A and B are shown apart, each in its own frame.
Chain A
């Protein structure tokens, strides 16, 4: 049975409620249940953490978004999974790993409050982690270096060469 709210995901939560004196059956997926604030049995601990979190998320750290040009939190949306920031603040969970990028500006204050920190300093996956990104950046820089040299822009080329050396040093250490 599909969730009656989104019609996309299978319903895993089934319950009956008395609405206006009438018994009504509900069938929700976990996401929609959380968004509607329905309690999920067997997850009482997790749930209270999430309600607490969503309390934190509702706080607008930048005042009221008065800064000119600032994107309001409500309009933020993850293009990958479709979750909006306001859904995230209700549910207390990210929809996919790209949410971290799309909501990035809003996350520092949240992480600061939950963890006291904003950046990871622990384990890094050897294969798919930091090294891959460093290497990609290195490849880009090398291409650009060739480009500058061909066009005889030697000052810019020297700068890029310095950046390449720095990166290579980091990679050798890391």
Chain B
């Protein structure tokens, strides 16, 4: 499988920049973790056992009803694709780093538009993920739950009356549900309100982390907000809690943006235009600088300081400028400084076509 269509292009459904509040919420992801009865979790499974898991789950996917409701599903065994393709799938958020590097008899199942990604033999036997553009937690949960129903009608899940869906990690037990949104919060970062808001968020059972970069240093002002609690709340409560907290963060970010425009328009304009200028002409661009400057340009477009590019192009650029994707586009085995040159080239060409 050398011509894997899913790694030939960057654009995924979740990057389309459509959906509610897509200027602040870039994408929504909901995943449910499930395991089959009477088989050890992937961590302890023998090759034969994880092979059996793969076979039983693949059989469900080949089922007709599933095809009718969800379109064509492509089963991609991880051992049939090369490391670079795995890396690109990770960069597109379609598989986890863990599935790419650790899984045995691992596979990912994707729909044509990549809005459904089912991981087999990750930390749990089955992880159903729905990835939507913008702020669509309810929609994403409903679709993931519908897929879950189909699997449940064909295989026996490990389920306990008291503990709910049993998962390998104690942090997922109960509903097995993790709902998360990716938010672009540059104004809250610039006005130094972000830490206050993030610590408030963690008080209400949610966690926050940067999308790129380690720890609290969020590259490109992109944050992922997700539920921490999976046991003792219904799925509806979890989704609603995330929904209402994210609505409040959106409100704070909007206010901060308005304040920036009112109180320091010339400075914010300068910052946006400088970043735009540098992205348009620079010959070398490391990933850290790219993330920060792309965030500035995105903010500039949202605030009406700069025309175009649309947010789908910005989302795509975030993925296209990752190391794996650069190598996929311009040739394998680049060293980091060569990547910086090609990253700059790619950004120059993209912005040149879409900005005015």
User: Do residues A100 and B160 form an inter-chain contact, with CB atoms below 8 A?
Assistant: yes
Smallest CB gap from A12: residue in B:
B102
Given A31-B44, A83-B44, A93-B41: A114 and B174 interface contact (C-beta under 8 Å): no
A61-102 toward B: CB 8 Å interface, digit per residue (1/0)? 000000000000000000011010000000111111100110
In the assembled complex, A133 has its CB within 8 A of some CB on chain B: yes
Contact of B170 among A41, A111, A125 (CB under 8 A): A111
Asked if residues A97 and B231 are in contact (CB atoms below 8 Å), the reply is: no
Q: B152 is contacted by which of A93, A97, A121, A126 (Cβ under 8 Å)? A: A126
Question: Which of A15-23, A42-50, A143-151 sits within the interface?
Answer: A42-50
Q: Is the CB of A92 within 8 A of B170?
A: yes
Q: Which residue of A has the minimal Cβ distance to B154?
A: A127
Contact with A12, one of B104, B157, B169 (Cβ below 8 angstroms)? B104
Which residues of chain B (61-80) have a CB below 8 Å from chain A? Answer: none
Interface bin, chain B = 35 or more
B98 within 8 A of A: yes
A117 to B148, CA, bound (A): 24
Cross-interface CB contact of A125 among B152, B163, B167, B235, cutoff 8 Å: B152
Q: Does the CB pair A94–B168 fall under 8 Å? A: yes
Which of chain B's residues has its CB closest to A129's CB?
Answer: B159
Check A43/B44 contact, CB under 8 A, given A53-B171, A97-B166, A124-B159: no
A142 to B46, CA, bound (A): 41
Segment at the A interface, from B11-19, B32-40, B194-202, B266-274? B32-40
B42 nearest in chain A by CB position: A30
| B232 neighbours in A (Cβ, 8 Å) | 111, 115-121
Closest-CB distance, B49 to chain A (whole angstroms)? 10
Contacts of A117 in B (CB 8 A): 174, 229, 231-233
Query: What residues of B have a CB within 8 angstroms of the CB of A107 in the complex?
Result: 163, 170
CB distance from A39 to the nearest CB of B (A): 12
Q: Assess whether A55 is interfacial by the CB under 8 Å rule.
A: no
In the bound complex, CA of A127 to CA of B46 (Å): 27
- Given A91-B43, A123-B175, A124-B159, is A42 in contact with B170 using a C-beta cutoff of 8 Å? no
Find chain B residues with CB under 8 A from A121 CB.
232-234
Q: Closest chain A residue to B231 by CB distance?
A: A115
Chain B 228-240 per-residue mask, 1 if CB under 8 angstroms from chain A, else 0: 0111111100000
Contact A40 B102 (CB under 8 A): yes
Interface digits, B211-228 against A, CB 8 Å rule (1 contact, 0 not)?
000100000000000000
- Count A-side interface residues using an 8 Å CB cutoff: 51
Residue pair B157, A128 in contact (C-beta under 8 Å): yes
A-B contact pairs, 30 of them (CB 8 A): A9-B44, A13-B102, A30-B43, A42-B102, A43-B97, A49-B169, A53-B169, A53-B170, A81-B44, A91-B43, A92-B169, A92-B170, A93-B168, A94-B168, A95-B40, A95-B43, A97-B37, A97-B166, A100-B163, A107-B170, A114-B170, A114-B171, A114-B229, A116-B229, A118-B231, A120-B231, A120-B232, A122-B233, A126-B149, A128-B152
- By a beta-carbon cutoff of 8 Å, the part of chain B in contact with chain A is 35, 37, 39-41, 43-47, 97-98, 100-102, 104, 123, 145, 148-149, 152-153, 156-171, 173-175, 177, 205, 209, 214, 229-235
Q: Other than A116-B205, A119-B163, A123-B148, give 20 A-B pairs with Cβ distance below 8 A.
A: A9-B47, A10-B104, A13-B102, A34-B43, A50-B169, A93-B168, A100-B173, A111-B163, A111-B231, A114-B231, A117-B229, A118-B232, A120-B164, A120-B232, A122-B164, A123-B145, A123-B165, A124-B159, A126-B149, A128-B157
